[in-house]
Amino acid sequence: MTQPKKLFIKTYGCQMNVYDSERMAEAMGGKGYVQTDTPDDADMILLNTCHIREKAAEKVYSELGRYKGLKAEKPDLKIGVAGCVAQAEGQEIMRRQPMVDLVVGPQAYHRLPELEAKAREGKKALDTDMPEEDKFEKLKSRPKAKRGPTAFLTVQEGCDKFCAFCVVPYTRGAEVSRPATRIMAEARDLVERGVREITLLGQNVNAYHGHDKGLAGMIRELATIDGLERIRFTTSHPNDMDDDLIDAHGDCDKLMPYLHLPVQAGSDKILKRMNRSHTAEEYIRLIERLRSARPDLHMSGDFIVGFPEETEQDFQDTMALIEEVKYGSAFSFKYSERPGTPAAERPQVPETEKDDRLQRLQALLKTQQRALQDDMVGREVSVLFEKAGRMAGQMVGKSEYLHAVHVEADDVAIGDLRRVRIDSSGPNSLSGKLV
Ligand code: 5AD
Ligand code: SF4
């Protein structure tokens, strides 16, 4: 019997890359590859990369540098770069790091097995096409292995919004939705293999139009699958939040009361320059409507500080918006100049100013996050158990609001969904007892 070849995949960036890495591993499984969790014994190393901020892209080159020794020892080792850096830089990657054998963009990875074969023949292999064909259809169906209780499922990719700071419309291409029938089939398959919670993914997931009733229709149909207990979706744009999707937060029990709805900034001047096409007030009114459909909804968001020409007053407007919304969690970043995007051409805010604003913003978000978490004490939540805790007899899961919850219990299994009364709140998680 021939030994399976080993594939090491390192994933950077967003949840969609996590999903893509799984699918690439499955595609290479069809070519006799099994996954390994160390580059040292790999026959192929694949970096699934992120281009969203400068630091993320630079990390790829420093990681590649680390594999020089390995490649010298093992000439048969093939090194590939996938994802958004692959799309944005293409051939340039092989010029900067000649040891890279293959480069594959996020819309072409169904061709990875062919590219690997080409690389094995000693040729450089590159594919950054954005073909019309549906890569998910071209991929082998997912193997039937048992899975953990949570899974991602990409339903939509790409973006037509062209926010002035963002590379996504260039690296992931135009908005495309996968047909509802395929989403249903993939979800049923995941549930048969043990999945209880599915997070629907898309760069603009609420612009999903693969179902005749949009994302809300897709969610309602998914909710009919027995054994699927929880549905989440990320990431959304405020302008695509339609009435039906707002209502679904109130009437679809399986849709979790946690919503990631990035606003990026709270100043109308900056929002306009970012090309976000809505005001701070419109965003706040939207959240009010969502909260009247689902009063316990926890909000999450993304923020950028130091966008070109952001003044202290503009920054204060962002702080005021945060004060008003009260976030359960959030991601915040210093603006990073991305070549080819309109904002990169504008007058930049000094780095020290960006650092200072980021610190102040994160301090506020942290206080809010902690307050909402502490507010869970004394309440009953539902917990989907995902793994054993560090201490014997301890199990860890997530509440409907995505808080990590620790419970001491011998009779809880991974995949169980149980009611828990919260009795304490620590720095990063809650603890409680089974009800
Ligand atoms: N600089 C900083 N943050 C960015 N994001 C996207 N592009 C940039 C950039 N050029 C952030 C946005 C987005 C999240 C995924 O990354 O907040 O919502
Ligand atoms: Fe980027 Fe804006 Fe599209 Fe989000 S909506 S992916 S931030 S361009």
Domain span holding position 54: 5-127
For residues 228 and 311, membership in a common domain is answered with yes
pLDDT in the model for residue 234? 97
Strands in 125-127's sheet, in edge-to-edge order, are 33-35, 5-11, 44-49, 78-82, 102-104, 125-127
* Same domain, yes or no: 162 and 272: yes
Ligand having the closest approach to the CA of 236: 2
| pLDDT given at position 331 | 97
Report the distance separating Cα 362 and Cα 332, nearest Å: 7
* Ligand in nearest proximity to the CA of 174: 2
Q: How far is the CA of 74 from the centre of ligand 2 (A)?
A: 41
- Tell me how long the chain is: 435
Residues 198 and 83 in one domain: no
Q: Which of 105, 127, 149 is the last residue of a domain?
A: 127
For position 140, what pLDDT does the model report? 64
For residues 339 and 203, membership in a common domain is answered with: yes
Does one domain contain both 360 and 384?
no
Let me know: does 219 contact 255? Beta carbons within 8 Å: yes
Q: What local confidence, expressed as pLDDT, does residue 418 receive?
A: 97
pLDDT attached to residue 390? 86
Q: What is the pLDDT along the chain (435 residues), one digit of tens a residue?
A: 578 999 999 999 999 999 999 999 999 998 899 999 999 999 999 999 999 999 888 899 999 999 999 999 998 999 999 999 999 999 999 999 999 999 999 999 999 999 999 999 999 999 999 887 778 877 766 667 789 999 999 999 999 999 999 999 999 999 999 999 999 999 999 999 999 999 999 999 999 999 999 999 999 999 999 999 999 999 999 999 999 999 999 999 999 999 999 999 999 999 999 999 999 999 999 999 999 999 999 999 999 999 999 999 999 999 999 999 999 999 999 999 999 999 999 999 999 999 999 999 999 999 999 999 999 999 999 999 999 998 888 999 999 999 999 999 889 999 999 999 999 999 999 999 999
Q: Within the chain, what is the greatest distance between any pair of CA atoms? A: 68
Residue nearest to atom 2 of ligand 2 (CA): 163
Does any domain span residue 132? Answer: no
Output the pLDDT for position 141. 64
Q: Output the DSSP codes for 356-416.
A: HHHHHHHHHHHHHHHHHHHTTTT-EEEEEEEEE-SSTTEEEEEETT--EEEEE-SS--TT-
Q: How far is the CA of 158 from the centre of ligand 2 (A)?
A: 9
Type of residue numbered 212? D
Nearest to 264 by CA among 65, 412, 52, 110: 52
Whether residue 74 is found in the same domain as residue 152: no
- Shared domain check, 335 and 232: yes
Atom of ligand 2 nearest to the CA of 264: 7
Domain end call among 374, 397, 417: 374
Q: Which residues have any ligand 1 atom within 6 Å of their CB?
A: 52-53, 165-166, 262, 264, 302, 304, 333, 335-336, 338
Site to probe by mutation for ligand 1, drawn from 15, 17, 52, 54 as the one with most ligand atoms within 8 Å of Cβ, is 52
Q: Specify the CATH number for the domain of residue 262.
A: 3.80.30.20
Block residue for tokens 């809010």: 368
The answer to whether residue 171 sits within a structural domain is yes
Q: Are residues 284 and 324 in the same domain?
A: yes
Q: Are residues 91 and 171 in the same domain?
A: no
| Helix, strand, or coil (residue 77) | coil
168 and 307 belong to one structural domain: yes
Q: In total, how many domains does the chain have?
A: 3
Q: Is the peptide bond before 235 cis (omega within 30 degrees of 0)?
A: yes
Ligand 1: residue of 167, 304, 355 to mutate (most ligand atoms within 8 A of CB) is 304
Instruction: Please tell me the distance between residue 262's alpha carbon and the centre of ligand 2 in angstroms.
Output: 9
- Please tell me whether residues 270 and 386 are part of one structural domain: no
CA neighbor of 262 nearest in space, from 306, 296, 300: 300
Q: Do residues 45 and 18 touch, judged by C-beta distance below 8 A?
A: no
169 lines ligand 2 (CB under 6 A): yes
Same domain, 396 and 340: no
Asked if residue 105 has its Cβ within 6 Å of ligand 2, the reply is no
Domain assignment present for 183? yes
**CATH number of the domain to which 26 belongs:** 3.40.50.12160
Q: Does residue 252 fall inside a structural domain?
A: yes
